[in-house]
Amino acid sequence: MWASPFVLRVKLALGFKGLSYKYVEENLRNKSDLLLESKPVHKKVPMLIHNGKPVCESQIIVQYLGEFLASWLKDGRGKTEEEKAEGAKETFAAVETLEGAFKECSKGKFFFGGDNVGYLDIVLGALVAWMCTAEVRHGIKFFDASRSPLLEKWVDRFGRLDEVVAILPDIDRLVVHAKMREAEVAAAASNK
Protein backbone atom coordinates (compact mmCIF):
# COMPACT_ATOMS: atom_id res chain seq x y z
CA MET A 1 0.00 0.00 0.00
CA TRP A 2 1.88 3.03 -1.28
CA ALA A 3 0.33 5.47 1.23
CA SER A 4 0.98 3.47 4.40
CA PRO A 5 3.57 5.05 6.70
CA PHE A 6 4.34 1.54 7.95
CA VAL A 7 5.19 0.39 4.42
CA LEU A 8 7.21 3.58 3.91
CA ARG A 9 9.15 2.80 7.10
CA VAL A 10 10.18 -0.59 5.70
CA LYS A 11 11.03 0.90 2.30
CA LEU A 12 13.14 3.60 3.95
CA ALA A 13 14.97 1.02 6.05
CA LEU A 14 15.67 -1.10 2.97
CA GLY A 15 16.81 1.99 1.03
CA PHE A 16 19.18 3.18 3.74
CA LYS A 17 20.61 -0.33 4.06
CA GLY A 18 21.18 -0.36 0.29
CA LEU A 19 19.23 -3.61 -0.10
CA SER A 20 17.47 -4.40 -3.34
CA TYR A 21 13.92 -5.71 -3.21
CA LYS A 22 10.88 -6.21 -5.38
CA TYR A 23 8.00 -3.99 -4.29
CA VAL A 24 4.53 -5.43 -4.89
CA GLU A 25 1.51 -3.17 -4.42
CA GLU A 26 -1.44 -4.79 -2.65
CA ASN A 27 -5.11 -3.86 -3.06
CA LEU A 28 -6.28 -4.10 0.54
CA ARG A 29 -9.94 -4.42 -0.51
CA ASN A 30 -9.18 -7.28 -2.89
CA LYS A 31 -6.18 -9.03 -1.36
CA SER A 32 -4.03 -11.31 -3.46
CA ASP A 33 -3.73 -15.02 -2.74
CA LEU A 34 -0.17 -14.38 -1.62
CA LEU A 35 -1.37 -12.06 1.14
CA LEU A 36 -4.41 -14.17 2.03
CA GLU A 37 -2.25 -17.29 2.40
CA SER A 38 -0.03 -15.55 4.96
CA LYS A 39 -2.15 -16.44 7.99
CA PRO A 40 0.72 -16.11 10.48
CA VAL A 41 0.95 -12.40 9.71
CA HIS A 42 -2.78 -11.73 9.85
CA LYS A 43 -2.99 -10.65 6.21
CA LYS A 44 -1.55 -7.19 6.87
CA VAL A 45 0.96 -4.99 5.08
CA PRO A 46 3.83 -4.41 5.07
CA MET A 47 5.07 -7.92 4.60
CA LEU A 48 8.49 -9.08 3.48
CA ILE A 49 8.76 -12.47 1.85
CA HIS A 50 12.24 -13.84 2.40
CA ASN A 51 13.16 -17.34 1.28
CA GLY A 52 9.49 -18.03 0.60
CA LYS A 53 8.36 -17.16 4.13
CA PRO A 54 6.34 -14.07 5.14
CA VAL A 55 7.99 -11.81 7.72
CA CYS A 56 6.27 -8.86 9.39
CA GLU A 57 8.06 -5.87 10.83
CA SER A 58 8.62 -6.73 14.47
CA GLN A 59 10.37 -3.68 15.87
CA ILE A 60 8.59 -1.94 18.69
CA ILE A 61 7.64 1.68 17.97
CA VAL A 62 8.93 4.00 20.63
CA GLN A 63 6.08 4.93 22.99
CA TYR A 64 6.15 8.69 22.54
CA LEU A 65 6.23 8.28 18.76
CA GLY A 66 3.20 6.00 18.95
CA GLU A 67 1.44 8.62 21.05
CA PHE A 68 2.43 11.27 18.51
CA LEU A 69 0.89 9.27 15.67
CA ALA A 70 -2.28 8.53 17.65
CA SER A 71 -2.78 12.16 18.60
CA TRP A 72 -2.01 13.29 15.05
CA LEU A 73 -4.69 10.94 13.73
CA LYS A 74 -7.12 12.15 16.38
CA ASP A 75 -6.38 15.76 15.45
CA GLY A 76 -7.05 15.18 11.77
CA ARG A 77 -10.14 13.05 12.31
CA GLY A 78 -11.92 14.68 15.22
CA LYS A 79 -15.63 14.97 14.56
CA THR A 80 -16.30 18.10 16.58
CA GLU A 81 -14.29 21.29 16.91
CA GLU A 82 -13.73 20.35 20.56
CA GLU A 83 -12.28 16.95 19.59
CA LYS A 84 -10.06 18.59 16.97
CA ALA A 85 -8.83 21.18 19.49
CA GLU A 86 -8.06 18.46 22.05
CA GLY A 87 -6.24 16.45 19.36
CA ALA A 88 -4.20 19.51 18.38
CA LYS A 89 -3.27 20.11 22.01
CA GLU A 90 -2.09 16.49 22.37
CA THR A 91 -0.26 16.64 19.05
CA PHE A 92 1.70 19.74 19.96
CA ALA A 93 2.54 18.28 23.38
CA ALA A 94 3.95 15.24 21.54
CA VAL A 95 5.87 17.56 19.19
CA GLU A 96 7.39 19.24 22.24
CA THR A 97 8.46 15.81 23.53
CA LEU A 98 9.94 14.92 20.14
CA GLU A 99 11.81 18.23 19.99
CA GLY A 100 13.36 17.48 23.40
CA ALA A 101 14.19 13.92 22.35
CA PHE A 102 15.83 15.14 19.17
CA LYS A 103 17.92 17.68 21.09
CA GLU A 104 19.06 15.01 23.54
CA CYS A 105 19.62 12.19 21.03
CA SER A 106 21.20 14.14 18.20
CA LYS A 107 23.72 15.95 20.41
CA GLY A 108 23.79 18.86 17.96
CA LYS A 109 24.14 16.63 14.89
CA PHE A 110 21.81 16.17 11.92
CA PHE A 111 19.72 13.11 12.83
CA PHE A 112 18.31 11.42 15.91
CA GLY A 113 21.30 9.09 15.98
CA GLY A 114 23.86 11.80 15.22
CA ASP A 115 25.54 12.09 11.84
CA ASN A 116 23.72 9.17 10.22
CA VAL A 117 20.09 8.19 9.73
CA GLY A 118 18.96 5.74 12.38
CA TYR A 119 15.87 3.85 13.45
CA LEU A 120 14.04 6.86 14.93
CA ASP A 121 14.71 8.89 11.79
CA ILE A 122 13.12 6.13 9.71
CA VAL A 123 10.13 5.72 12.04
CA LEU A 124 9.37 9.44 12.09
CA GLY A 125 10.49 9.93 8.49
CA ALA A 126 7.80 7.55 7.25
CA LEU A 127 5.26 10.09 8.52
CA VAL A 128 6.79 13.17 6.85
CA ALA A 129 4.63 12.94 3.73
CA TRP A 130 1.49 12.60 5.85
CA MET A 131 2.53 15.60 7.94
CA CYS A 132 2.87 17.62 4.74
CA THR A 133 -0.54 16.32 3.63
CA ALA A 134 -2.10 17.51 6.91
CA GLU A 135 -0.55 20.92 6.36
CA VAL A 136 -2.05 21.14 2.86
CA ARG A 137 -5.47 19.81 3.90
CA HIS A 138 -5.93 21.32 7.34
CA GLY A 139 -3.35 24.08 7.65
CA ILE A 140 -1.63 22.19 10.48
CA LYS A 141 2.14 22.54 10.47
CA PHE A 142 3.56 20.07 12.96
CA PHE A 143 7.14 21.26 12.98
CA ASP A 144 7.85 24.97 12.67
CA ALA A 145 10.58 27.37 13.77
CA SER A 146 8.57 28.81 16.67
CA ARG A 147 7.56 25.52 18.25
CA SER A 148 10.14 22.97 17.10
CA PRO A 149 13.07 24.56 15.26
CA LEU A 150 15.28 21.46 15.47
CA LEU A 151 12.61 19.20 14.00
CA GLU A 152 11.79 21.72 11.30
CA LYS A 153 15.45 21.58 10.19
CA TRP A 154 15.42 17.79 10.54
CA VAL A 155 12.38 17.48 8.22
CA ASP A 156 14.12 19.62 5.62
CA ARG A 157 17.39 17.63 5.81
CA PHE A 158 15.66 14.25 5.90
CA GLY A 159 13.31 15.16 3.05
CA ARG A 160 16.24 16.03 0.76
CA LEU A 161 18.06 12.70 1.17
CA ASP A 162 18.21 10.73 -2.08
CA GLU A 163 16.79 7.61 -0.40
CA VAL A 164 13.82 9.61 0.88
CA VAL A 165 13.15 11.47 -2.37
CA ALA A 166 13.10 8.13 -4.20
CA ILE A 167 10.54 6.57 -1.86
CA LEU A 168 8.16 9.06 -0.24
CA PRO A 169 4.89 9.51 -2.13
CA ASP A 170 3.84 12.68 -3.89
CA ILE A 171 1.99 15.02 -1.51
CA ASP A 172 -0.69 15.95 -4.07
CA ARG A 173 -1.42 12.26 -4.62
CA LEU A 174 -1.66 11.72 -0.85
CA VAL A 175 -4.08 14.66 -0.53
CA VAL A 176 -6.34 13.10 -3.17
CA HIS A 177 -6.04 9.70 -1.45
CA ALA A 178 -6.91 11.17 1.96
CA LYS A 179 -9.95 12.98 0.56
CA MET A 180 -11.17 9.80 -1.15
CA ARG A 181 -10.75 7.75 2.04
CA GLU A 182 -12.54 10.42 4.06
CA ALA A 183 -15.43 10.40 1.57
CA GLU A 184 -15.61 6.58 1.68
CA VAL A 185 -15.71 6.58 5.48
CA ALA A 186 -18.41 9.29 5.48
CA ALA A 187 -20.47 7.37 2.90
CA ALA A 188 -20.17 4.14 4.87
CA ALA A 189 -21.22 5.92 8.06
CA SER A 190 -24.25 7.50 6.39
CA ASN A 191 -25.34 4.11 5.04
CA LYS A 192 -25.59 2.60 8.54
Q: What is the pLDDT of the chain when averaged over all its residues?
A: 77
Position 142: which residue type? Answer: F
pLDDT tens by residue, 149-168:
999 999 999 999 999 999 99
The answer to whether residue 110 scores a pLDDT higher than 50 is: yes
Position 50 confidence tier, pLDDT thresholds 50, 70, 90: low
Instruction: Return d(Cα 129, Cα 175) in angstroms, integer.
Output: 10
Per-residue pLDDT reduced to its tens digit, 56-106: 543 432 233 334 445 555 555 667 888 878 877 878 887 887 888 888 888
* pTM (predicted TM-score): 0.66
Range scoring the smallest mean pLDDT among 85-99, 114-128, 132-146, 154-168? 85-99
Measured CA to CA, the distance from residue 50 to residue 37 in angstroms comes to: 15
Query: Distances from the Cα of 164 to the Cαs of 12, 27, 111, 171, in angstroms?
Result: 7, 24, 14, 13
CA–CA dist 34, 22 (Å, integer): 14
How far is Cα 23 from Cα 6, in angstroms, rounded to an integer?
A: 14
Question: What pLDDT score was predicted for residue 10?
Answer: 73
> Residue 2: its pLDDT value, please?
82
